[in-house]
């Protein structure tokens, strides 16, 4: 058993395909198949099963994948720890986030981090909270910037800011364009553009309406704020969005927002990573920068 075998095995799992794994690693599919077959012979167990022209992990494969991720995470930690000792002259930090955090929270923090450590490579991966948590557990990313709560015993959660959700409308909306606030009960009166189901923010909003006994009129759904705002701007509906995401458009007169005066919605954002005795310096610095910006919102 060698690292190249494990790398090929993991590539097959991550891509659900021997062919795509070969393309990703720039080797022939036959080489991938041969290495995986040798690994199965050494273990005495099949790692994959096939059904409906797709491949799936067997129970043995799931166990092997868990330990393979640990192997590569430990190697990654070794490189990072040595890099820390060498003054952060090299290394990598992999950050996962939803699209909203990627657009509004991450850029200034990453910019500051790169000023301090110009030789650190930073990768940003976007996805749903469920997908990113899985990638944290599988050691594919180092930290997630996610909407809380996340109740997992194996993960370390560091809350760093709260964002008020506001009702956002087009300035062309005659019923709302002059208003500064709305009551929660009024939200049932307008066609709404929601985040897609499965996102943390959508779950938060769904729980809010359920708690208040309100049945909203859902006009559309979209997976991120970047696609919701243009739809609101042309008056196809209203939406509940984090306040920091709409301030710039509101100042330019492109969007209009109103606070909910009786039952506000607040979402909490935090950093999520593996519980570990050793935390890479770059990750510790990232957490410190987020906390600093949360404590000084005027610098955000």
pLDDT tens for the 300 residues of the chain, in order: 888 899 899 899 988 889 888 888 888 999 999 999 999 999 999 999 888 778 889 999 999 988 888 888 778 777 766 766 455 556 778 999 988 888 888 999 999 998 888 888 899 998 888 889 988 888 888 899 998 888 778 888 988 889 999 999 999 999 999 999 999 999 999 999 999 887 888 999 999 999 999 999 999 998 889 899 999 999 999 999 999 999 999 999 999 999 999 999 999 999 998 887 667 777 888 888 888 877 665 444
The third-level CATH classification (topology) of the domain covering 69-161+269-299 is D-Maltodextrin-Binding Protein; domain 2 (3.40.190)
Q: Which of 106, 120, 111 is nearest to 280 (CA)?
A: 120
Residue pair 192/231 in contact (Cβ under 8 Å)? The answer is no
Q: Where are the domains of the chain?
A: 3-65, 69-161+269-299, 163-267
Torsion of CA 141, 300, 206, 99, to 10 degrees: -40
Residue pair 39/63 in contact (Cβ under 8 Å)? The answer is no
69-161+269-299 and 163-267: same fold?
Answer: yes
Question: For the domain bounded by 3-65, which CATH number is listed?
Answer: 1.10.10.10
Structure tokens at 73: 């995470």
Q: What angle do CA 27, 29, 34 make, to 5 degrees?
A: 100
Q: How many CA atoms lie within 13 A of 1 on its CB side?
A: 11
Which helix (H) or strand (E) segment is 222 a member of?
Answer: strand 217-222
Q: Bridge-partner residues for 163, per DSSP?
A: 267
Please give the sequence-ordered ranges of beta strands (E in DSSP) within 33-91, or none if there are none: 48-51, 54-57
**Local structure of residue 142 (DSSP, 8 states):** S
Instruction: Please identify, in words, the CATH class of the domain defined by 163-267.
Output: alpha beta
């Amino acid at each position: 058993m060698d690292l190249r075998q494990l790398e090929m095995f993991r590539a097959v799992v991550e891509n659900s395909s021997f062919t795509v794994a070969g393309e990703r690693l720039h080797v022939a599919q036959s080489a991938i198949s041969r290495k995986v077959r040798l690994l199965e012979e050494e273990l005495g167990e099949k790692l994959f099963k096939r059904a409906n022209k797709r491949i799936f992990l067997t129970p043995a494969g799931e166990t092997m994948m868990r330990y393979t991720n640990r192997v590569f995470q430990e190697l990654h930690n070794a490189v990072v720890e040595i890099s820390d000792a060498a003054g952060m002259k090299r290394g990598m930090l992999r950050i996962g986030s939803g699209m909203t955090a990627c657009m509004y929270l991450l850029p200034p923090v990453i910019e500051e981090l790169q000023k301090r450590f110009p030789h650190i490579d930073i990768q940003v991966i976007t996805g749903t909270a469920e997908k990113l948590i899985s990638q944290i557990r599988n050691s594919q990313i180092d930290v997630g910037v996610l909407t809380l709560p996340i109740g997992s015993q194996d993960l370390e959660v560091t809350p760093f800011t709260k964002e008020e959700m506001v009702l956002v409308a087009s300035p062309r909306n005659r019923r709302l364009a002059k208003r500064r606030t709305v009551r929660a009960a009024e939200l049932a009166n307008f066609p709404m553009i929601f985040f897609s189901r499965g996102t943390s923010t959508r779950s938060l909003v769904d729980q809010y309406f359920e708690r208040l006994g309100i049945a909203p009129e859902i006009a559309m759904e979209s997976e991120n704020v970047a696609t919701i705002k243009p739809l609101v701007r042309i008056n196809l509906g209203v939406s509940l969005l984090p306040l920091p995401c709409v301030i710039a458009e509101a100042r330019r007169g492109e969007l209009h927002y109103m606070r909910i005066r009786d039952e506000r919605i607040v979402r909490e954002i935090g950093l999520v990573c593996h519980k570990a005795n050793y935390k890479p310096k770059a990750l510790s610095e990232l957490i410190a920068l987020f906390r600093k910006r949360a404590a000084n919102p005027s610098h955000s």
